[in-house]
Structure 1
């Protein structure tokens, strides 16, 4: 089976990701038939957000043409299996054409597997299909049954126009913002930290553009947990995949070492960025708070000095739409090109306003510059000695060009 997306997080440790209630999807094809494959969270009343997970499963069933009920062939029939069956039967009563297939997983022996699968007839879901997802045993028969009765036809997945990832420390409100922007409850939200443990992709449309929103797991500066490493790695991959990164801060907490580290990660990947100060509604605001907050953020997060700053509240919806507009503008700036004449005029102005640094009695001389790259805009600087170009002066040039070219939201990469 061909699949156009990364798979869901899996782990050999039981319950490692039991709180991952968000469902994942991918475009796949089998036997000449294209379809959307959806992986839902596990149903378990003992986990946090159990009610929300159940709602997500019900939503997935309401949109499905085929429901594959997966049970554990090694554990036998469990109480949770009956709960899942109740959900499926309820969905079937509302959607008569819903096709139900019973899949018995973890049966690695092709001889013993069919025998162990027989007990699952008791669930009333029809013929059980014994498989081993780990070894690929029985997958062919299962998929053949899934596509039976559907018209063949391959539909290539459409690439989004803009990919926007929401990153930040745990419980900063990333999932709530994605839900608000998509006008859905696609991402689970909770006051409990760590509710999101995998990336969640939510496609939306805005002004005729296909936009993919990516909700990520909260990133921590240091983690000793083997299970926590995987969500962290997924979040970093989401940054690399994105065109625009939205760094979500908790207005009630200020800037942490985690926030600083995430900002550096975005800077090192040369991604367009927007800084969102979420939970703004929880602060006692006065006339000077906004101005002071902007200065504070620019001082504490110099790596994202080019980014637009949005003060919003996912809870009240205040200025949430501004986030999307800022992200779209950042993407626009990210792809801009400039004439060599304009860049050199600005370079002369920049060096006139602030003289290049002198190191060991030798002054940096900048002769010429031109654009050599887009996404992000890349500028090649020609000078007498690149070792004389200090980080502080390069940061000054970055801010000067950003302000002069109105490149808010996009970094500049120097060569």
Structure 2
């Protein structure tokens, strides 16, 4: 064979081999670019399944636990659940508002006030002020409670704590509770340190991992079934299920679930970057890229080519490092996460010039669920070494979780 022909044949074989190898690899695409080759049935949230729950509400005096994500989707976009039920002649007597409020957008940690809904005249009772659990007198005169809030599947996201306290109140008052299920955008994995009993708070009331891989309806069943409500009580619970949902489903939230989770990237990074809430490092609050970047003025500027200045804005009236030049990393192009990553917290700690400024020890322990994680980072353990210490607890939780899963 002539040398030129031999050379061309060899190149062709190499190209074919390379193409074959590439075909065996899973291509990671940005979340916004993922397109399914086969049509996926559209997920139907439980609030849209009025035929399943409306008969349970007709002729009843109803209380609703809701926030801006509690909507029924329609051709015009969406209608708030409360407005939808009022239009269907359901007697809604009270609305219970969790963190961030009912229709408004209060800052994280900002107290929500009692009031009256301007659109319907229905009384609004705060569950994020002096009281976080409905008192028995507030349930008097109600025949049923409806709970409908979009969760993001992270233990320190406070809506599951509100769910638990409402279920306890309903169990004590013997008032039935209906949970309208919604997809969990982080429902495709279980990971992170498990909450220790001595560190429980409103940022984590049960011994579950940081990311627990359950919808809010499945989690309600777990609380009930495992006797994790106060004094082992069990609520009269009904979960209205989703349609066309699996735990692997990618769900793009049409409404931001809270002021500082504006898009898919922030939600997928939240389990990892949320740990910065227990530090003095800014995690994007005070910018338009909340939980998509991190930085601080006390981090080594020579280690980073990215910087930004947090300023007060929607959802963050007093962000950390306000008005200061923060040096850190931009993560706004990150793909969908399949695990909790410690790389960014560890990077920030390693490049903090005065490490005494880094941790807010009590806050970090409450977010992590354990004092051990801070100790491990300070001791210089690798991410793999730290994650190895999580595994026994994760496996134990997965066995419990399996009993309460509704979806594949």
After TM superposition, the score normalised by the length of structure 2 is: 0.24
Greater share of residues in strand: 1
After TM superposition, the score normalised by the length of structure 1 is: 0.24
Greater RCO (CA < 8 Å, at least 6 residues apart): 2
For the pair shown, which has the larger CA radius of gyration, 1 or 2?
1
